[in-house]
Structure 1
Amino acid sequence: MPSTSEAPAAAESQTIVERTGSLGRIRLDRPKALNSLTLAMVRDIEHALDAFEADPRVAAILITGEGERGLCAGGDIRMIYEGGRAGTDAPATFWREEYRLNARIARLGKPYVAVMDGIVMGGGVGVSVYGSHRIVTERTRLAMPETGIGFFPDVGASWFLTRQEGELGTYAALTGAQLSAGDAIAFGLADAFVASGELAALIEALAALPAGATGRDVSQAIAAHDAPAPATVAARRPDIDRLFAFDTVEEILQALRQDGSPFATETLAVLQTKSPLSLKVTLRLLRLGRAAPSLETCLENEFAATEAVLRSHDFYEGVRAAVIDKDRNPQWRPARLAEVTDEDVAAFFRPSSKPLFP
């Protein structure tokens, strides 16, 4: 999903693509905008993957974010907001190409290493979570916070948040909770913890691998720097599995109220700030995703749902409150969960007339 960054796009390239030894590097280069993705950046990544896959000198591909704040905070939310308001095809074009890129990364023939350092949200998760080797650091803050702006977790979240047993993914999607390095690993969204101070040495080791190196060789290079990482949210797994094991948002909220523990009370308060419509759409997407046969199926469902997002009140209101006016006081419509009708939700589940993967 798009980030809440509002920094203007620079005229020069926002993606650095280079080869260092046997390593094909993709460096997201909008640090003032938390490396949030533009359409040009999505296309740059796609072209880089084409080149690196075809280059016999490249053993592995690495994606990182420039600056000290994060890999990527998402996509260009202001473009989507303004494009949606103006009725242009810019939002649909961005989502179409972004989602296809997500699927492309998942099926790459070469190792794809993602350094998920700092802030990794929305579209930033999309360009990293499908990698063969996903690295987190002590600075990692990973989240899918879309229900807070009247949207839903996308970039295949209904796939990657439903591949683990239990309800950790449901919790992450509905609450938008920020996950630490250890939690990202426990949630199945990352593979290894490497301290940020060791990243330069790791990248140097990866670049020094022979051109014929395999995924196993990449794993061994990472393992030399890997360390344990504590998980805090995942430690609540028994509670999360019990409280979120329902197929309706109403039942989840009722379970939280009846539980009454500090964790349940805090979680209930968080959910009550989210868009009621977004919560219902998100949970339905997750339950469909749990039974889906492929990532592409989930991306197709999510892409179809974006058409309804652009017609909805809550998305524009959520972006207004978070990005435009920044009053952090969205007025959702409907305002209460009980007022969200079946027809409201059904509007998000009509197949697109222009599918992603025809």
Structure 2
Amino acid sequence: MTTPPPDDEVLFRKDDRAGRIVLNRPRALNALTHSMVRRIDAALRAWELDDDVATVVITGAGERGLCAGGDIRSIHADATTAGGDASTGFWRDEYLLNARIAEYPKPYVAIMDGIVMGGGVGVSAHGGVRVVTERSRVAMPETAIGFVPDVGGTHLLAQAPGELGTHLALTSSSMGAADALLCGFADHFVPSDRLGALVAALATTDADAAVRAEARPAPPGVFEEWREWIDPCYAAGTVEEIVERLSDTGIAAAKEAAEQIMGKSPTALKVTLRALRAARSLGALRPVLDQEFRVSCAAFALPDLVEGIRAQVIDKDRRPRWSPATLQAVTDDDVARFFAPLGDAELGLGPATAGPAAEVSRGGARRPASGASASS
């Protein structure tokens, strides 16, 4: 495979036995475009059949992070000036790529250094070997822009211990290294000053051995201690009751979480809670991605997504005007429409081969549902 010019938005090369993917939009924090998604998928298909490639490694250009997510400016432009085909086409190919990564037969090593959010989680946290550093900030922040966690995010969040995934999804909170390990979004902690040595070793050494040689204990996180209030509060049946329980705890962090939730799109919050609970019963990634595609297509047709992107990214006034404006005004029928079948437009991934307790991991290994310490 030839190396694209250095100003290309995603770079591919071979380093000895490693196929390297470098997301190369540092000014946009390596946000994913449709073209990037399609080209990554094509590279993975080619390398799967290439005996000279033993391991795939994905990193991000620049110092700020692996990837901040999908290019939501493009989604906003599509919603306001076009018919939406570009966005639904992007999501379709993106979710198919997420499934390919999760089922990849060779070690897929994701260097989750710095900011890793939304679509960045999709191209990393489904991989077989997932590395975080002391600089990692991992999040699914979709409710802040009137959207719902996607790219297989509801699958990962639903499998986090207790109700940690619900907390992360509703508040849009980020995880440091230890909490990403606890919640099943990562496998190993490697100090950032050892990443160069790790990536160099991956070119010639078995992926598992290379990562373990550099792995260290992660600095402490907060979520294990916070489970004392997270689990009982977020076990409630509705978002309204969750907020009430959080507010009544008398715990400062819980009250802050309640305030964070109340700033998000009421519709997105209620759809997210239902999507997470459904993902638990669906178990495997493929049917969850099918569900996420239905939800994403429905979200595109309603005003909150455009309004959320406007407030957070376009105008940056941080004052979204949600519709409906309150949780109480969002009806069960409003939520149900997000899960309606799409007929011939379904994503169509179908059931995966693994059940609720585990999913097929790269190279045929099986990862425990928590994903906290496994590697390929």
Regarding TM over 0.5, the answer is: yes
Q: 2:141 aligns with which of 145, 151, 155?
A: 145
Structure 1: how far apart are the matches of 2:289 and 2:99? Answer: 8
Amino acid at match of 1:332: W
Corresponding residue SS for 2:57: strand
Amino acid at match of 1:285: A
- Equivalence for 1:246: 236
The residue that corresponds to 1:47 in the other structure is 42
Cα deviation, residue 264, structure 1: 1.6
Counterpart selection for 1:28 from 16, 20, 23: 23
1:50 to 1:146, Cα distance in 2 relative to 1, 3 A = same
2:107 counterpart of 1:111 = yes
- In structure 1, the partner of 2:209 is 220
Structure 1 equivalent of residue 151 of structure 2: 155
Q: Indicate the residue corresponding to 2:319 in structure 1.
A: 329
For residue 17 of structure 1, the aligned residue among 12, 21, 25 is: 12
Q: Choose from 284, 300, 303 the match for 1:294.
A: 284
C-alpha distance in 2, partners of 1:102/1:346?
A: 25
State how far apart, in whole Å, the 1-side matches of 2:293 and 2:41 are: 19
Q: How many residues in Structure 1 have an aligned counterpart in Structure 2?
A: 342
**Percent of residue pairs bearing the same amino acid type:** 51
- Structure 1 residue 175 corresponds to structure 2 residue 171: yes
What is the identity, as a one-letter code, of the residue corresponding to 2:88? Answer: A
Alignment of 1:224-239 (within 5 A): 224-229=213-218, 230-239=220-229
CA shift digits 1:282-322 (9 cap, x unpaired): 00000000000421111111101122111111111111111
Match of 2:204 in 1: 208
1:148–1:275 CA contact under 8 A, matched in 2: yes
With the length of structure 1 as denominator, give the TM-score of the two structures.
Answer: 0.93
Contact 1:73–1:119 (Cα < 8 Å) also in 2:
yes
Match of 1:356 among 347, 351, 370: 347
Deviations 1:173-203 (A, max 9, x none): 1111011011100111100011111111111
- How far off is 1:208 after superposition? 1.5
Q: Post-superposition shift, 1:11?
A: 11
Paired letter, 1:255: R
2-structure distance, mates of 1:165, 1:36: 29
Query: For structure 2, which runs of at least 5 residues remain unmatched after alignment?
Result: 350-376
User: What pairs with 1:50-65 in structure 2 (closer than 5 Å)?
Assistant: 50-65=45-60
Aligned: 1:262 with 2:258: no
Q: Distance in 1 between matches of 2:175 and 2:283?
A: 27
State the alpha-carbon separation in 2 of the partners of residues 275 and 293 from structure 1.
26
Q: How does 1:84-99 map to 2 (within 5 A)?
A: 84-85=79-80, 86-99=82-95
Aligned to 1:134: 130
Relative to structure 1, is the Cα distance of residues 88 and 161 closer, same or farther in structure 2, using a 3 angstrom cutoff? closer
Aligned to 2:328, the other structure's residue is in SS state helix
Q: C-alpha distance in 2, partners of 1:120/1:13?
A: 21
1:282 alignment partner, one of 260, 265, 272? 272
Q: Which amino acid aligns with 2:257?
A: T
3-state SS, counterpart of residue 174 of structure 2: coil
Q: TM-score if structure 2 supplies the norm length?
A: 0.89
Inter-partner Cα distance in structure 1 for 2:46 and 2:193? 30
AA in 2 matched with 1:226: A
Deviation at 1:87, TM superposition (A): 1.2
**Displacement of 1:233 after TM fit?**
2.9
The offset of 1:12, in angstroms, is 5.4
Partner Cα separation in structure 2 for residue 260 and residue 119 of structure 1 = 31
Deviates more, 1:161-170 or 1:35-44: 161-170
What RMSD, in angstroms, separates the aligned Cα atoms of the two structures? Answer: 1.4
Q: Tell me how far 1:13 sits from its aligned partner.
A: 2.5
Which position in structure 2 is the counterpart of 1:307? 297
Q: Which runs of 5+ in 1 are unaligned?
A: 1-9, 210-216
Q: What SS is found at the alignment partner of 1:113? A: strand
Moved over 6 A (4+): none
CA distance in 1, matches of 2:201, 2:109: 13
Aligned partners of 1:136 and 1:181 also within 8 Å: yes
**In 2, Cα distance between the equivalents of 1:284 and 1:88?**
25
Contact 1:129 1:190 in 2 (8 A): yes
CA distance in 2, matches of 1:17, 1:246: 46
Is the 8 Å Cα contact of residues 140 and 168 (structure 2) preserved in structure 1? yes
Alpha-carbon distance in 2 for matches of 1:57, 1:325: 48
Contact 2:84 2:300 in 1 (8 A): no
Q: Deviations over 1:31-85 (max 9, x none)?
A: 0100000011001110110121111111110000010000000011011111122
